[in-house]
């Protein structure tokens, strides 16, 4: 309860501050946003599982996992799991984003099983910075191609074009399920100047 009260106060401070800026870009630049990406056993497994179970709006596949299932994935060597924390001049939002990537190292390919972000940080473009970091880390382990899917629910329509916006090639599907492919060597990251990495 104490943490929730603190987070609420921080959000109120942000809302008050936002009114003094002419543009959203100026306001976001003023926040001094900082992202910290974690992977491997450094991820907070209980929070990662919680986010998969509760996140609906910014969730590309809406798959639900328990802590045990996340641990099994992590131990298998067939997955890379990433999470991020976001902070700004008013405080820390905590761990608010997750990506689960299924690997096929023999073929140098991978599939995005899960990509989600808490509604607390929507509108800050942090998803692009998170994705840039993921691509960089996948390249380091010799992944060359990345597949992804958008699975429609009644709550996640706002991300129906997310992969198009990242530069993925649409390969198949329709409104309810869309499948994509990305060649990592041709990926051009979106530069978000007001978010720094720590």
Given this model, what pLDDT does residue 117 score?
Answer: 98
pLDDT tens-digit series, residues 158-191: 999 999 999 999 999 998 999 999 999 999 999 8
**Contact (CB, 8 A) for 97 and 87:** no
Output the average pLDDT for the chain. Answer: 94
Per the structure block, which two tokens stand in for 125? 């473009």
User: What stretch of H or E contains 91?
Assistant: strand 91-104
pLDDT tens-digit series, residues 9-63: 777 777 777 777 878 899 999 999 999 999 999 999 999 999 999 999 999 999 9
pLDDT tens-digit series, residues 61-111: 999 999 999 999 999 999 999 999 999 999 999 999 999 999 999 999 999
**Of 117 and 19, which is predicted with more confidence?**
117
**Contact (CB, 8 A) for 93 and 130:** no
Given this model, what pLDDT does residue 16 score?
Answer: 75
Given this model, what pLDDT does residue 15 score?
Answer: 75
Per the structure block, which two tokens stand in for 13? 């401070």
For residue 49, the SS3 value is: helix
Among residues 142, 68, 140, 129, the alpha carbon closest in space to that of 99 is found at 129
Q: Given pLDDT bands bounded at 50, 70 and 90, which one contains residue 3?
A: low
Among residues 88, 1, 100, 114, the alpha carbon closest in space to that of 43 is found at 100
Given this model, what pLDDT does residue 72 score?
Answer: 98
């Amino acid at each position: 309860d104490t943490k929730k009260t603190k987070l609420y106060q921080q959000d109120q401070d942000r809302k008050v501050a936002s009114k003094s800026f002419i543009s959203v870009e100026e306001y976001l630049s003023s926040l001094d946003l900082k992202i910290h990406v974690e992977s491997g056993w450094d991820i907070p497994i209980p929070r990662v599982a919680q986010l998969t179970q509760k996140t609906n709006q910014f969730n590309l596949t809406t798959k639900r996992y328990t802590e045990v299932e996340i641990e099994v994935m992590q131990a298998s060597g067939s997955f890379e799991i990433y999470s991020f924390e976001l902070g700004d001049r008013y405080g820390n939002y905590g761990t608010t984003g997750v990506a689960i990537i299924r690997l096929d190292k023999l073929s140098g390919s991978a599939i995005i099983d899960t990509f989600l972000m808490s509604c607390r940080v929507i509108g800050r473009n942090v998803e692009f910075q998170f994705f840039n970091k993921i691509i960089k880390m996948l390249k380091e382990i010799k992944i060359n191609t990345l597949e992804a899917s958008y699975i429609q629910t009644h709550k996640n329509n706002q991300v129906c074009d997310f992969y198009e916006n990242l530069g993925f090639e649409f390969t198949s599907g329709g409104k309810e399920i869309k499948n994509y492919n990305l060649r990592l060597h041709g990926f051009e990251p979106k530069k978000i100047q007001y978010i720094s990495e720590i």
